[in-house]
Structure 1
Amino acid sequence: MPVRKKEQHRTQRIGWLRAAVLGANDGIVSTASLVLGVASAHATHANILVAGIAGLVAGAMSMAAGEYVSVHSQADIEQAELKLERKELETDDKGEHKELAAIYIDRGLDPALAQQVAQQLMAHDALGAHARDELGISDTLSARPTLAALASAGSFSGGAAMPLLVIALAPATSLIPIVSGASLLSLALLGGLAAYVGGARVLAGVMRVAFWGALAMGVTAGVGAMLGTVA
């Protein structure tokens, strides 16, 4: 009997890839924008660095908390749906069998075959079959709040560390162009990597991330420059 080859699909990466890319992108954009805004207001090199570090800590905590709450809400909904489905299986097994068979008929199976498939799947794992095919809940795409929160906080910190490192090493006289250039390069690489891992067009990912990053940094720097002249 031939050994079944286990295929690797990109959908398995959706959860952690989304959190990691979002966190790293926000880390670079928000921290670089923050320090560019402060630098444009003619702050000292030390104050710029302090502002960047504060932005890293605050941003990482905010990302972790926001991601945890958001994904945990999704997990709560999933658990509530599974609880309801479990109750329906206990009280109306025949009705749930017909419901599952109807789903397979809608997907193109012959009614007799759909009935057979539904019967066998429910005999094996009734709740799992309904969770997957009726509710769209699977182990691959299920909500994992703690993992999402840690991934967001860690990736944000990693992204935010880049402009901070540049600030620490760059001379104060050319800090703005160096931080801007390094941040845009990092964003372009991040967008390209995310697109490649996700199987999307690399150039489109690079352009999208770089454009919005440049816009955010430009607007923040402009506001900082205006406030610096007023102060």
Structure 2
Amino acid sequence: MFTGIIEETGKIIRVEKSTKSSRLSIEGKLIFDDLKLGDSVAVNGVCLTVSNMGSGIFVADVMSETVSRSSLGMLRAGSKVNLERAMPANGRFGGHIVSGHIDGTGTIAALRSDENAVWITISISEKISRYIVEKGSVAIDGISLTVAQESPGKFSVSVIPHTGKETTLLKKKVGDIVNIENDVIGKYIERFTGYGTGKGPDLYKKSYESNITEDFIMRSGF
């Protein structure tokens, strides 16, 4: 589990590609304070496992499923990446619940300066768009951000100077691909209620019956 608060930006040292998968060697500094084999590290928002490590460098295997769903297959030696270790049980929850299991990718459609902030608009698929909520949370390349505006097929975030300085986001340009992870809470609610899916409670009738319906929620003022 992660929070979307980036600890540092690392650098890709080497990419070893197979037919569909790859292996990344990644250089960092701060995350090596207590990093060990088997630990989880979010790399541009994708949860990877440390399979080998040396002085300031760790190695992670990227399976074909991850390559197909994320932008990690586009990384090259020298690419900068956002890094975050898994959240410790006694840590501060500074961002939001981030699993490191991204839902897909988006494309940067526009960047616009607004005094001390930069607005970034990202084009997304309908699959991702359905979970985007104005003023809700979203992780972009592993960064916990607030949705400032949303409309069909796109959404915008406003990036403050600190986030721009500590992450790779403002080094992106129009047309670049970014990893998107929707707020997991919305996905679970949809699954359990079956809203818009034709699934949900019917899957669980043998062991679960609920009196909470969409009509009940609306009559209760929600």
TM-score, with structure 2 as normaliser? 0.24
Larger Rg: 1
User: Which structure's residues are more often strand, by fraction?
Assistant: 2
Point out which structure has higher relative CO (alpha carbons under 8 A, 6+ apart).
1
Task: Report the structure, 1 or 2, having the larger helix content.
Answer: 1
Q: Provide TM-score, normalisation by structure 1.
A: 0.24
